[in-house]
Amino acid sequence: MIAALGLLVGILLGLWFRPDVPLGLEPYLPIAVVASLDAVFGGLRAYLDGIFDDKVFVVSFISNVVIAAAIVYLGDKLGVGGQLSTGVIVVLGIRIFSNVAAIRRHLFHA
């Protein structure tokens, strides 16, 4: 319940403040969002499996975001930032799909 409220509060804050993305962070924010979504779905699946641990969730969340951004940053330095961010998005997308499939099996038994 509180978690859902937190998500809502975040969205409302974003709508309310209308922050500008700093120019340096602009290439990394979309990657970070997708990485954190992956962590969130992984956490939800773990919760439904009964093995959720908040410490692990926090660590995986932060590391997901940091590693994704770091990969893209490294790619930018190497001159392959565009391709690497595409690769990261693809991998995270696959993980999100498999997590969501597990969640679906839990909730709908299908």
Partner 1 sequence: MPDTKPSMPDTKPRTPTEPGAGRQRLRTALLKPSRAQVVVAVLLAVVGFAAVTQVRATEVDNTYAGLREQDLIDVLNGLAGTTQRAEAEIARLESTRRDLQSSTDSRQAALAQAQDRADTLAILAGLVPVTGPGIRITITEDSAPVDVDTMLDTIQELRAAGAEAMQINGKVRIVAQSSVEEAAGGIYVDGTLLSAPYVIDVIGEPHTLTGGMTFLQGPQAQFEEDGQSVQIDELQSLDIESVRDPRQPDYAQPDTSQ
Q: Report d(CA 66, CA 60) in Å as an integer.
A: 10
Q: Is 110 in the site for partner 1 (CB under 8 A)?
A: no
CB 61 within 8 A of CB 95: no
Q: Which has the closest alpha carbon to 61: 44, 47, 40, 45?
A: 40
Q: Which of residues 45-74 bind partner 1 (CB under 8 A)?
A: 45-54, 56-61, 63-64, 67
Q: Does 40 bind partner 1 (CB under 8 A)?
A: yes
Q: How many helices (H) and strands (E) does the chain have?
A: 4, 0
Here's the x/- map for partner 1, 75-104, by CB under 8 A: it reads as: -x--x-xx------------x--xx--xx-
How near is the Cβ of 90 to partner 1 at its closest, in Å? Answer: 16
C-alpha triplet 93, 99, 104: angle, nearest 5°: 125
3 lines the binding site for partner 1 (CB under 8 A) = yes
C-beta of 46: minimal distance to partner 1 in Å? 5
**Rounded CA Rg of the chain:** 16
- Nearest Cα residue to 40 out of 109, 103, 87, 88: 103
The site for partner 1 (CB under 8 A) is made up of 1-11, 13-15, 18-21, 23, 26-27, 29-30, 32-33, 36-37, 39-40, 42-43, 45-54, 56-61, 63-64, 67, 76, 79, 81-82, 95, 98-99, 102-103, 106-107, 109
